Each structure stands twice: as structure tokens, then as C-alpha cells.
Amino acid sequence: MKKYFNFEELGTNYRTEFLAGLTTFLAMAYILFVNPATLALVSVEELPEGVTRIDQGAVFTATALAAAVGSLFMGVIAKYPIVLAPGMGLNAFFAYTVVLGYGIPWETALAGVLVSGIIFIILTLTGLRELIINAIPGNLKLAVGAGIGLYIAFIGLQSAGIVVGNPDTLLALGDMTSPTVLLALFGLVVSVVLLTMGLKAGIFYGMIITAVAGMLVGLIEPPAGIGGIVGEVPSLAPTFGQAFAHFGEIFTIEMLVVILTFLFVDFFDTAGTLVAVATQAGLVKNNKLPRAGKALFADSTATVVGAVAGTSTTTSYIESTAGVGVGGRSGFTAVVAAGFFLLALFFSPLLSVVTAQVTAPALIIVGVMMCSALKNIEWDQFEIAVPAFLTILAMPLTYSIATGIAIGFIFYPITMLVKGRAKEIHPIMYGLFVIFVLYIMFLS
């Protein structure tokens, strides 16, 4: 085992790798509860006619399994200390844009995730990923990441009741004296304090403290004894295989854009995470990422597994840097984290205490982290600033990641052409321009 994971060459050992795996798991364990709540639209009390909720228990199981399988593949095949799970932002796009906004059944949305995963595998095996990565300008990649961050944070503020609708101004500050709003604010403050103190698992611990506080003041129903904490693994029956059953429903322009969005965001989120974590761990050789193809294959395979089981796109997590920070250097770190995700399957009863007020602080803080990409956008170049700004702004204001991407990708060729920088526009961008113009026209 030591030889396979190159412990001696990497200067690591079992104890260090175990602690790294545990640290990464704790840093991202919040996804086990946030993902089911997001996909099941828990923060939306009354759904529009025809929109149904996905089973929260089944999503919990699918989330843990997708994370375990993806992390195991990443650790064993690619040998990177990178852990995977259903991605934040993509789950919000799945739930709030595709299901709630477009009215597309969650079963069909899962089929879209499955197709995006299969396409990702093909792109990885054929080597086309480099071509596509180079076609999308770096500034737009950064803008998409920051825009998703604002979108997630907005959903968190809304689900907490901190921001509410207003007939005159569209949005307004919520009732700051409401007990549930105060609970969410308490959770936000606690989580911010823990993370500011340098506690890697601050989001997870913040959720625990908020849930306990909610139970103490009577806002959350406490679990009944040990049975309310540990229980049977929820059945996958409500979601398993639905992606295959509804595969024939994906052949529409609307679903084409949905699939492209799933693929696009996962593609670049994974690439960025791989580079960031590998660089921190000192695994980049001659400015190249060894076994990058295997890492991308592990990521795309996890998306396929997750879609079949019943969850949104699975991707590499930047929280993996938490494990690297305590010494994780080999794929054994990811293997350890995978084991903890499997163990977590028996704690599904805790879903009952993870309310919208408990998850809201996590959404807001993840949004803050994703907005760090803003600092690297070339704002001093107007032809770059306009499409980047519109991409970022449109996502929360239109309540749609896809619409934000579409608007940015439409304006980019226009501003670049007018500026006389046509040679810098990849032909693929012109193709995306046409697709997204048709998409906007279709929406209207």
C-alpha cells in the first residue's frame, strides 16, 4: 500500500494521510445535508403546479455514494489527495433554475446530468478537453465562478428570510426580529468566527452549533434518542435509475443548454480545483499536472454514478486543500475521506434537524469563497469587463446560472470584435454565441 501510493517519495505516512482525509471530510461534510435540502427545494414552502420534490432521503444516500465512489476513484486511479462530492452551485442550478424555474421534472434533469458526465468522459478520453479549455477565455471562466458564488449566497439569504420579496422594490430586508431569521444570523456569525479563527471545518461545525441552538430554543424539533441520530440507510429506490428512464426527454433546446451548463461549470471547476490543490501539495512537475487525464476521468465517472443514483453533478472540492494543509500528499487521503462518506450513510436521521436556517449560513459562506475569483478579472479592459460583469450580475438577478453564462458569452465576441481583437476569439466561441442567442430567444 505504501509503495502504491508513493509514501516514501512524497514524504508522508499512514497517520498523516488518515488525519488529512478526516480533515477534508469534516471540511466538506456539510454537503451531506445541504445537497439534499437544496435539491428537494426545502426552502420553498409551496411549489408551482406540476413541480414535484425529489426524495430527500434518497438524495442523501446518493450524495454519500457519489462522494465515496468519486473520491475512491480519484485516490486509487489518479492518486491525488482530492475529494469529490456533488458540487455547490450546480445543485442550486439543478433545483432552482432547471426544476423550479424551467419546470423541468427532476427526473429529466438527472438525465441531463448523466449525459453531461458521459460527454465529459468522452472529452477526457479523446483529449478534446484541452481544446475546449483553451477556447473559453480565462476572464469568463473567473466570472462564471464568481457569479455562481453570488447566486448561491443570494439563495442562502433568501432561504434564511434575511432577504425577502417586495412588490415595490423587488427585494427588501426581511424581518430581523423573526426567531428563524435570528437563528440563521446566529449560524452565520458562528460560522464566520470559526473560519476566521482558521478552523477548516468551520462550516460543518457552524451547522452543528446552529442546529443545537435551534433545538434549545424550540425552533427545531430534536431527534428522539439515539434512533434520531443513527438509523438505516435511506433507500435509493425513489431516484435510482430515473436518469435512464427519462433519457428520451433531453432532446430539446432547453435541455441542450442545461447539459452544456452542467458540463461547462463542472469542466472548469474541476480543472481549477485540480491545479489549486496539486500546486499546494507540490505535485505539479515542470508546470504540468501529472495524471491529469486520470483525475478528470475520475471526476466525470463520479458524475455518471451520482446521476444514476440520484444527485446533481459531482465535482472536485476545493476543501481538499484543508487535508493538504495538514500534510495529505497521496491518493490515500481521498480513500480515507471516501470511507468516512460511507460511514456517514448511517446518520441520515440528522436530516430532520437541518432546516433552511441551518443550511443558509453554509450557502452564504461558500458564496464568499467563490467570489475570490473577482480579484483576477482584468477590469481595466472594458471589452473584458462588460461580458464578465454581465455574467456575474445576471446570475443572481435572473435566478439562473445558465442565463448569466449566456449573456456573458453573447457580449464577449461583440466587445472583442469592436475592439479589434477578433484574432483572440476562438471559433468555438462563435458557435457558443449562436447557441446562446437562440437560447435567450427561446426563453423570451
pLDDT at 287 over 80: no
Q: Which three cell numbers stand for residue 67?
A: 462522494
Helix axes 202-216, 179-196, angle to 10 degrees: 150
DSSP 161-212: TSEEEETTTEEEE--TT-HHHHHHHHHHHHHHHHHHTT-TTHHHHHHHHHHH
Work out the number of other CB atoms within 10 angstroms of the CB of residue 128. Answer: 12
Distance CA 271, CA 266 (A): 8
Does residue 314 sit in helix, strand or coil?
Answer: strand
Over residues 24-40, mean pLDDT: 90
Maximum C-alpha span of the chain: 69
User: What is the pLDDT at residue 172?
Assistant: 92
Q: What is the mean pLDDT of residues 9-22?
A: 89
pTM: 0.79
Sequence ranges of the domains in the chain: 7-369
The lowest-confidence range among 67-76, 176-185, 358-367 is: 358-367
Question: Which of 43-47, 51-55, 156-160, 284-288 tops mean pLDDT?
Answer: 51-55
Q: What is the pLDDT of residue 221?
A: 84
How many CB atoms within 10 Å of residue 4? 11
pLDDT tens-place string over residues 387-418: 999 999 998 998 877 788 889 999 999 999 99
195-209, 221-235, 412-426, 429-443 — which is least confidently predicted? 221-235
What 3-state DSSP class applies to 39? Answer: helix
> Which among 317, 295, 247 is positioned nearest to 124, based on CA atoms?
295
* Predicted local distance difference test score (pLDDT) of residue 124: 83
The answer to whether residues 10 and 329 touch, using CB atoms and an 8 Å cutoff, is: yes
Q: What is the pLDDT of residues 303-362, one digit of tens each?
A: 999 999 999 999 988 788 878 877 888 999 999 999 999 999 988 877 778 788 888 888
Q: What is the pLDDT of residues 96-126, one digit of tens each?
A: 989 998 899 999 999 999 999 999 899 888 8
Percent of the chain scoring above 90 in pLDDT: 43
Let me know: does 335 contact 75? Beta carbons within 8 Å. Answer: yes
pLDDT over 80 (residue 131): no
